[in-house]
Amino acid sequence: MKLLILFAAQFTFLVSGFISSESDSLFSFSLYDNQLQQPLMVNLTFIQGADSKGAVCLDGTLPGYHLDRGFGSGSTSWLIHLEGGGWCNTIRNCVYRKKTPRGSSIYMENQIPFTGILSNKPEENPDFFNWNRVKLRYCDGASFSGDSENEAAGLQFRGQRIWLAAMEELMSQGMQNAEQALLSGCSAGGLASIIHCDEFQSLLPKPSKVKCFSDAGFFLDAIDVSGGRSLRDLFGGVVELQEVHKNLPKNCLSQLDPTSCFFPQNLVEHVETPLFLLNAAYDVWQVRSSLAPTTADPLGSWNDCKSNHAECNSSQIQFLQDFRNQMLDDVKDFSKSSQTGLFINSCFAHCQSERHELWFADNSPLIDDK
């Protein structure tokens, strides 16, 4: 089976000088265009009738997805990739978001490139190139998990309904006959792939081999540079505003508060379906937006370090090292199960599976030659 190498449970870590961040994504696409074949462009499909189920984006528009059909040996295998893109935790933030592709399908691109784990080229994506590959667009702001509304602000928080409508749509497109299925996601979508992992398995026929894959979705409940917990504050707002608690695991909620159950470090122990984690130990988004956001660093003492890691002073390096150690500690118990696997590298990166140069290029990060 093609997934075997992915799910080898090996608790090893790579120390690497490879530097990557969200800020160089345009440069990365330029490299891709100049050195490789042009990526496959895949059309946007709206989920017709989703609005009748209340499955709509923040502004009430139809949700959408991109599908490239599998062929040959991959024709009965499905990869569902959940798009990421942060969260909105206040009415103001969500009102702003509904004027963007992350809150309205009006602003979504009609075509997007399928690269990395979504590529159709065997030399770039040998395991999944001929699978049915889907990217589900993210337009709810709560990792496909909320279910509420704010009529006064014209906001629909319907991530859970979008998820269900999308699964129903894809089942009708042939996924009900899947022999293999992988639920993946990046960032906020990586968190969603953990939240929905067991539900995904329950939707598919019993003989199917079903696994889940979270890329850059292991967000830590970490202390920021001011001594506060910036990400907990953000997640708390998301969970309360969008009533995410309705769709979090009951066995977690019986032990912890809803905000804690939105953090992957508390979720993964409740996931029964085989789950694989890919994460950078120095996750660049978490460094910038959780550890040293502007609200925690109003004087900008971390600005140079965040923009160029060679500029970090010794105390900042130690702070980053402590964050890495917390991540490694939080996945130790997870790594002991034969049903789990992980690839944690010491890169400054975020969302490594979607980009060719990190996923399967000649100089992509390696752990034990994998």
Pick the catalytic residue from 105, 184, 187, 346.
Answer: 187
Residue from 18, 115, 32 nearest 349 by CA: 18
Pick the catalytic residue from 140, 283, 297, 330.
Answer: 283
Residue from 183, 203, 205 nearest 195 by CA: 183
Rounded Cα–Cα distance for residues 131 and 2 (Å): 11
148 in active site: no
Rounded Cα–Cα distance for residues 88 and 140 (Å): 8
**What phi and psi values does residue 184 have, to the nearest 5 degrees?**
-125, 170
187 in active site: yes
Pick the catalytic residue from 66, 81, 196, 350.
Answer: 350
Taken in order 54, 60, 61, 64, the sign of the CA dihedral is negative
309 in active site: no
Going by their DSSP bridges, the two strands 132-136 and 209-215 should be labelled as unpaired
Angle at 106 between CA 189 and CA 151, to 5 degrees: 80
Whose structure tokens read 């509904």? 98
Looking at the annotation, which residues are catalytic? 187, 283, 350
